Amino acid sequence: MSQIPNNLKYTKTHEWVRVEKDGTITVGITDHAQEALGDLVFVELPETGRTLAQDEACAVVESVKAASDIYAPVTGTVVEANGAVADAPETINRDAYEAWLFKMKPTNAANLDSLLDADAYAQESA
């Protein structure tokens, strides 16, 4: 059974979102997603400074089985990409909630309200 931490928000496309104290958000893929993909071998991240629309494909994770797009959970600007995870994609398989992909500054924080809580995501991914 996949882990679904209660302190995060989720998308229907299996991204997790952590709201930081400074108002930025940290984005990664869920445990469910990494289990479904299998051993990750490549990660392509969005460029810092890139403006993303909510639900826009902005990154890619590839496993030995498949490639999967990663979608922006809200509209905003990429403020940091996690180069360490690009260099070692397997860290996502070890701990999907520690191995974040990128950070964003949301254009409108109210958009975060449209994301799923842990219970809703558990029902969505069941």
What domains can be seen in the chain, in order of their start residue?
9-109 (2.40.50.100)
Residues 48, 39: Cα–Cα separation, whole Å: 26
pLDDT above 80: residue 1: no
Q: What is the pTM of this model?
A: 0.96
Residues 96, 89: Cα–Cα separation, whole Å: 10
The helices-and-strands tally (H runs, E runs) of the chain is 4, 9
Q: Give pLDDT tens digits for 25-83.
A: 999 999 999 999 999 999 999 999 999 999 999 999 999 999 999 999 999 999 999 99
pLDDT at 17: 98
Mean pLDDT score, 77-94: 97
pLDDT at 29: 98
pLDDT above 60: residue 94: yes
Residues 73, 123: Cα–Cα separation, whole Å: 19
pLDDT, mean over the chain: 96
Structure tokens at 18: 């952590």
